Amino acid sequence: MGGPDAEHEISLMSGREVAQALRDSDRYDVIEQVVDRPTAATLPAHGADVVFPVLHGRWGEGGPLQEVLETLDLPYVGSGPRAAAVAMDKQATKRIVAAHGVLTPPDCRLSAGGLCPLVPPLVLKPIDDGSSVDLHMCRTEQQVAAAREILHRRRGAIMAEQLVTGREVTAGIVCGEPMPLIEIVTSPEVPFYDYQAKYFRDDTRYELNPDLPAGTAQACTRSALAAFDLLGCRDVARADFVVNDRGAWFLEINTMPGFTTHSLLPKAAAHRGMDMASLCSRLVDAALTRTPAHTVRQYG
């Protein structure tokens, strides 16, 4: 847990929950390791049989850490380097899924000083980050200009996406199995499902198996599974949508979603009958199936 990315603190929260869940399963010897940016020379200090990399962001979730683990030939939970890197690039992901018929809002990449071909309302955000970090909702050209001034200083190139309004729905996937959908309902005083609403506010509501227009739930699940398969994801992911009378609009897919007490995937899994210990154990077991049996230490 940890890592050098903007979601370091969320990773620590997720990592502690996963570690406790695995201890609760009473099946594993669990070692918690807070990392910064480990290398192949420093990571295998504990001789682990499998790693559960509960890191969020470009380095920990987007491919570099996975490349280190591959170099070590060390089994780990989650997608491989290529799938992780593509999924972290929101624009690349949207291009891939759109080419296969998945509905997704128009977008463009913006460099500092470049013209934006899209007109407000827009969402401006990093191309390769999560948890709504540095996300700006812009309803006027003035808001777009102000947000770009901030974001280009921090990020360089950013992504502009046409703002699609509607109900926020998320679809989790565990080992290729779709989890129940969750609708996110924020407090009226919160403009969107931002960082605080995701992890710290207690007035965000989560509706399991929400009552959606006919065919919409199936469209969300179908698009989530399509993204999972097209990108080559494995073990776990969560896809986010906005749903309105025009359909289910795919926004992004996360290859290591949060495991905090506020996080969506554990809520969906619990509704399916998988408590946190069962969920985390299933993911560890999936990673262990990629390990030659003779290399795994057996515990009584």
pLDDT by 10s per residue, the chain, length 300? 999 988 899 999 999 999 999 999 999 999 999 998 878 877 766 678 999 999 998 999 999 999 999 998 889 999 999 999 999 999 999 999 999 999 999 999 999 999 999 999 999 998 987 646 788 999 999 999 999 999 999 888 999 999 999 999 999 999 999 999 999 997 665 555 455 555 555 678 899 999 999 999 999 999 999 999 999 999 999 999 999 999 999 999 999 999 998 899 999 999 999 999 999 999 999 999 987 553 444 433
Q: 141 with 118: CB under 8 angstroms?
A: no
Residues 6+ apart with CB under 8 A from 61: 5, 53, 55, 78, 84, 88, 130, 254, 255, 256
Q: What's 134's DSSP letter?
A: T
Q: What is the rounded CA–CA span in Å between residue 272 and residue 153?
A: 44
Mutual angle of helices 81-88 and 64-71, in 10-degree steps: 180
Q: How high is the pLDDT of residue 292?
A: 58
Q: What is the rounded CA–CA span in Å between residue 265 and residue 272?
A: 11
Q: What is the rounded CA–CA span in Å between residue 11 and residue 15?
A: 6
Q: How high is the pLDDT of residue 80?
A: 97
Q: 45 with 16: CB under 8 angstroms?
A: no
Q: How high is the pLDDT of residue 167?
A: 94
Q: 0.95 exceeded by the pTM?
A: no
CA distances from 250 to 120, 125, 182, 287 (A): 19, 16, 14, 28
Could you tell me which of 72, 74, 71, 78 has the C-alpha nearest to residue 55? 78
Q: What is the rounded CA–CA span in Å between residue 178 and residue 174?
A: 7
Q: What's 26's DSSP letter?
A: T
Q: How high is the pLDDT of residue 128?
A: 85
> What SS3 state is found at 173?
strand
Q: What are 268's two structure tokens?
A: 């969906």
User: What are the backbone dihedrals phi and psi of residue 116, each rounded to the nearest 5 degrees, phi first?
Assistant: -100, 115
Q: Which residue ranges form the domains of the chain, and what is each CATH number?
A: 8-77+278-295 (3.40.50.20), 86-104+165-275 (3.30.470.20), 107-162 (3.30.1490.20)
User: What are the backbone dihedrals phi and psi of residue 209, each rounded to the nearest 5 degrees, phi first?
Assistant: 45, 60
Torsion of CA 217, 239, 275, 57, to 10 degrees: -170
Q: How high is the pLDDT of residue 300?
A: 31
Q: What is the rounded CA–CA span in Å between residue 50 and residue 79?
A: 14
CA 296 to chain centre: 29
CA distances from 256 to 110, 129, 149, 166, 168 (A): 26, 12, 30, 25, 19
